[in-house]
Structure 1
Amino acid sequence: MSSWGEFRSRQRRGQHGNVQPFSDEDASIETLSHCSSFSDATSVADEGGEASEDTAQEDFQYKLKGFIDSTVDKSAKTRQGALDGLKTAMATRILYEFISERRMTITDSIERCLKKGKGEEQRAAASLACLLCIQLGSGIESEEVLKTLKPIFKNILADGSANIQARQAVATSLGLCTLVAEDDILDVHATMECFENLFTRSYARADGTCPSISPQTSQLYTNALLSWALLLTICTASQLKDILRKYLPKLPKLLESEDVNMRIAAGETIALLFELARDMDADFEFDQWEELCDKLNALATDCNKHRAKTDKRKQRSVFRDVLKAVEEGDFQSETIRFGTERMTIDSWVRKRTYDAFREFVGSGMNYHLQANEFIRDVFELGPPILVDSATMKAMKISRFERHLHNSAAFKARTKARSKFRDKRVDVGEF
């Protein structure tokens, strides 16, 4: 996923065309067990056969229709509950067909809640917009959702008098919605400029002092930086060259922020930029490289007494990885297991993308990696793998047997250690 062109060409080849959308009935028992109460319908269906399955599906869709209707309720509390209900459903189930038929209605509800709602309601509506795009995937449908909501997002983002929680949520949602649904790379760049207008306000001054920013505002600027970094992953080579020239010398100023989250976001963004730069040119050099490495090393070994221990521990861990990335081009890979498959997070590009999706689908991320055709395409996992019930039962048995074996081994070790401790006591008494 080195360029926007490659990313979009993958998204456009037969989305919801050559491969049928992964339905709720196809999802494995194990995967659905990780979901919320929305998965209960499936477990009932397994026991009761096709009739029970149909009934459970009808009940589930009836509940979703109720949520959609309630998004226009007079009560703000009811609207908030409806938005949260839809968010949970979209985070834990594949609902493409159901949502596709009601896309315009849901989009209108999100628009209304963003315009007329207050902080928490606006936050929920912004997050729901992202989940809607994730469900629809990359294509005309999600493009139309973004086309409707983007002007509202940008107005909230630029409005200093708007609710700060709403602005924080919009800063995150606009980034991912743009990644999924934006059709024009020039519009991607224009959205990045909106984020730049925010996070650059956190730059340390020429004398080394940092501007006075409230924690809530700092979180807004951090969210804007992370969304900007996400969109870096789909920029063209020419855009990246301009960004490297303009922003790489300035981003280290954010490393001096009083906010640990901003420092970490800045460090990871710098590592991402170095990775992208070296992908384009293996011999890439940065004039301020030694000074930058000194700063990163200081943060990786930070012993500042004025900072909380948890913040320092978190910061040191991240900046050790960032320093390796800048000095050696190294990345600490991580393996994600889901169902019968596994995926390796082996680059800063993939990490930023994975973290962005996980922020919205939460505990449903493994389910979406297994079943969501769009997300699988983003991470180049191929079409969803259908696992039949017999295989799932065999997997469950093997896991149960392994659990019994581990329990027995634990008891044996405990017993042996107890005897050893008894012998040490006996020796001590003589």
Structure 2
Amino acid sequence: MPRTKKKNGRGGQHGNVQPFSDEDASIETLSHCSSFSDVTSVADEGGEASEDTAQEDFQYKLKGFIDSTVDKSAKTRQGALDGLKTAMATRILYEFISERRMTITDSIERCLKKGKGEEQRAAASLACLLCIQLGSGIESEEVLKTLKPIFKNILADGSANIQARQAVATSLGLCTLVAEDDILDVHATMECFENLFTRAYARVDGTCPSINPQTSQLYTNALLSWALLLTICTASQLKDILRKYLPKLPRLLESEDVNMRIAAGETIALLFELARDMDTDFEFDDWDELCDKLNALATDCNKHRAKTDKRKQRSVFRDVLKAVEEGDFQSETIRFGTERMTIDSWVRKRTYDAFREFVGSGMNYHLQANEFIRDVFELGPPILVDSATMKAMKISRFERHLHNSAAFKARTKARSKFRDKRVDVGEF
């Protein structure tokens, strides 16, 4: 899944504006993007005048958020960052953001340097969404150039707020994927992540280092970001990484943290996939021992582990075991609007999961309208949908409520009859 660099890449076209929220982003997404609507549909929604008014109100609200990111009150700054995050996750705002890129970047920088935990976390996430909006090109490169030194300082500072370090570990990975133009700089960033997750390796005698849950989450985030950047490494870099890290990564499977075990398993599956893409006859010296470990995790019955953790772990490791043993991947189809995309590899899964972590329920919308994300997943330019098709796809919340209520009543009635029959049989 090659990622092409476009020096004037755009995140998409400026979207129609309504009071933003992340609800129903996947259902009503077509009504939010101006490139997917026409004069007729605008008229049906109340006319061009009301549409212009809504757009002005929306932009006024966004400008207010931007201004509030420098407020003296930490609570106000936090609310402004969250408001901008929600807007960027659920709308395409390229033109608006491009004009204010430097101002927003300065605000993020200030909040990262002077803010505390939650504010730093929100600022780090906003940096990612800003890059996603701007797409791969000079603009996002400038954002990363400004913020990368701050990200790396926070990441390496053991005295920094742990929540801020967790957020930076995730954000730096995706910002690098989107905006980094130099593969050597990508490798340098990967080394920052390596300095963290390698601390979680089990010792040679099989014992695990004592790590608290918050620090374990930091190491897990670092590992997942490292795995994300594996997807854009050169063949020569991958060969070095396979030689150096594949023999050691199975030691993370001994972790007490289920999330670390899962992240390690999926990263191992990803490395095997990349290795076999380069060499179909790829062999791993400790293959049998690794498969035994993966099989044990896929059938884990340890009583001291929570049932939900075991269930989640077994499901993932069945897939990881198939990947290592057979080179197999359990594909998944993602539907958005009139289109569909197949997640058919560990590379694509890691990339999809990384973007979804930031845009959340707006992922289907971005898959439809965000030119950069469509380019990453090789979906081509956004598909224009006429107003008739859009109306046919759009279901009002009231109609959905009626449909769900009717379905619920039908299920309840059917189950009641079934229970009555069981009672009758029992009485006889």
Q: Describe the shift of the 1:415–1:291 C-alpha distance in structure 2 as closer, same or farther (beyond 3 A).
A: same
Give the match's secondary structure for 2:52.
Answer: helix
- 1:273-309 C-alpha deviation (Å, 9 max, x unpaired): 0000000000000000000000000000111111111
Instruction: Say whether the 8 Å CA contact 1:44–1:52 is kept in structure 2.
Output: no
Instruction: Say whether the 8 Å CA contact 1:42–1:56 is kept in structure 2.
Output: no
Distance between the aligned counterparts of 1:20 and 1:78, measured in 2? Answer: 23
Displacement after TM superposition at 1:29 (Å): 7.8
Q: Describe the shift of the 1:200–1:55 C-alpha distance in structure 2 as closer, same or farther (beyond 3 A).
A: same
Distance between the aligned counterparts of 2:14 and 2:50, measured in 1? Answer: 28
* Correspondence for 2:249: 251
- 1:302-339 C-alpha deviation (Å, 9 max, x unpaired): 11111111111110110000000000000000010111
Q: Describe the shift of the 1:125–1:336 C-alpha distance in structure 2 as closer, same or farther (beyond 3 A).
A: same
Displacement after TM superposition at 1:389 (Å): 1.8
Instruction: Say whether the 8 Å CA contact 1:80–1:121 is kept in structure 2.
Output: yes
Q: Describe the shift of the 1:411–1:426 C-alpha distance in structure 2 as closer, same or farther (beyond 3 A).
A: same
Displacement after TM superposition at 1:40 (Å): 18
Q: Describe the shift of the 1:52–1:319 C-alpha distance in structure 2 as closer, same or farther (beyond 3 A).
A: same
Which of 58, 69, 72 is residue 70 of structure 2 equivalent to?
Answer: 72
Distance between the aligned counterparts of 1:36 and 1:171, measured in 2? Answer: 34
Displacement after TM superposition at 1:13 (Å): 13
User: Equivalent pairs: percent with the same residue?
Assistant: 97
Q: Describe the shift of the 1:282–1:16 C-alpha distance in structure 2 as closer, same or farther (beyond 3 A).
A: farther
Instruction: Say whether the 8 Å CA contact 1:44–1:56 is kept in structure 2.
Output: no
Q: Map of 1:119-268 to 2, 5 A cutoff?
A: 119-268=117-266
Task: Answer with 16-25 or 259-268: which moved more.
Answer: 16-25
Q: Describe the shift of the 1:416–1:267 C-alpha distance in structure 2 as closer, same or farther (beyond 3 A).
A: closer
Q: Describe the shift of the 1:422–1:138 C-alpha distance in structure 2 as closer, same or farther (beyond 3 A).
A: closer
Give the match's secondary structure for 2:333.
Answer: strand
Q: Describe the shift of the 1:73–1:329 C-alpha distance in structure 2 as closer, same or farther (beyond 3 A).
A: same
Q: Describe the shift of the 1:37–1:158 C-alpha distance in structure 2 as closer, same or farther (beyond 3 A).
A: farther
Q: Describe the shift of the 1:139–1:396 C-alpha distance in structure 2 as closer, same or farther (beyond 3 A).
A: closer
Distance between the aligned counterparts of 1:312 and 1:180, measured in 2? Answer: 34
Instruction: Say whether the 8 Å CA contact 2:7–2:136 is kept in structure 1.
Output: no
Instruction: Say whether the 8 Å CA contact 1:118–1:163 is kept in structure 2.
Output: yes
Instruction: Say whether the 8 Å CA contact 1:41–1:57 is kept in structure 2.
Output: no
Give the match's secondary structure for 1:330.
Answer: coil
Displacement after TM superposition at 1:163 (Å): 0.5
Distance between the aligned counterparts of 2:23 and 2:427, measured in 1? Answer: 67
Distance between the aligned counterparts of 1:40 and 1:93, measured in 2? Answer: 18
Displacement after TM superposition at 1:423 (Å): 6.6
Q: Describe the shift of the 1:426–1:75 C-alpha distance in structure 2 as closer, same or farther (beyond 3 A).
A: closer
Instruction: Say whether the 8 Å CA contact 2:11–2:135 is kept in structure 1.
Output: no
Task: Answer with 215-224 or 46-55: which moved more.
Answer: 46-55
Q: Describe the shift of the 1:133–1:422 C-alpha distance in structure 2 as closer, same or farther (beyond 3 A).
A: closer
Displacement after TM superposition at 1:47 (Å): 2.4
Instruction: Say whether the 8 Å CA contact 1:87–1:128 is kept in structure 2.
Output: yes
- 1:44-91 C-alpha deviation (Å, 9 max, x unpaired): 975211000000000000000000000011111100000000000000
Displacement after TM superposition at 1:394 (Å): 2.6
Displacement after TM superposition at 1:31 (Å): 1.2
- 1:355-411 C-alpha deviation (Å, 9 max, x unpaired): 000000001000000110000000000000121221122335899999999998998
Task: Answer with 414-423 or 311-320: which moved more.
Answer: 414-423
* Correspondence for 1:356: 354
Q: Describe the shift of the 1:174–1:36 C-alpha distance in structure 2 as closer, same or farther (beyond 3 A).
A: farther
Distance between the aligned counterparts of 2:417 and 2:272, measured in 1? Answer: 56
Give the number of the structure whose residues are more often helix, by fraction: 1
Which of 396, 399, 404 is residue 397 of structure 2 equivalent to?
Answer: 399
Give the match's secondary structure for 1:344.
Answer: strand
Q: Describe the shift of the 1:127–1:420 C-alpha distance in structure 2 as closer, same or farther (beyond 3 A).
A: closer
Distance between the aligned counterparts of 1:252 and 1:263, measured in 2? Answer: 9
Figure out how many residues of one structure are paired with residues of the other and give that number.
423
Q: CA RMSD in A?
A: 4.7
Distance between the aligned counterparts of 1:308 and 1:228, measured in 2? Answer: 28
Instruction: Say whether the 8 Å CA contact 2:13–2:94 is kept in structure 1.
Output: no
Q: Which has the higher relative contact order, 1 or 2, with Cα contacts under 8 A spaced 6 or more apart? A: 2
Distance between the aligned counterparts of 1:265 and 1:180, measured in 2? Answer: 21
Task: Answer with 29-38 or 385-394: which moved more.
Answer: 29-38
Instruction: Say whether the 8 Å CA contact 1:28–1:389 is kept in structure 2.
Output: no
Instruction: Say whether the 8 Å CA contact 1:127–1:360 is kept in structure 2.
Output: yes
- 1:223-280 C-alpha deviation (Å, 9 max, x unpaired): 0000000000000000000000000000000000011000000000000000000000
Instruction: Say whether the 8 Å CA contact 1:303–1:312 is kept in structure 2.
Output: yes
Give the match's secondary structure for 1:337.
Answer: strand
* Structure 1, unaligned runs of 5 or more: 1-7
Q: Describe the shift of the 1:55–1:218 C-alpha distance in structure 2 as closer, same or farther (beyond 3 A).
A: same
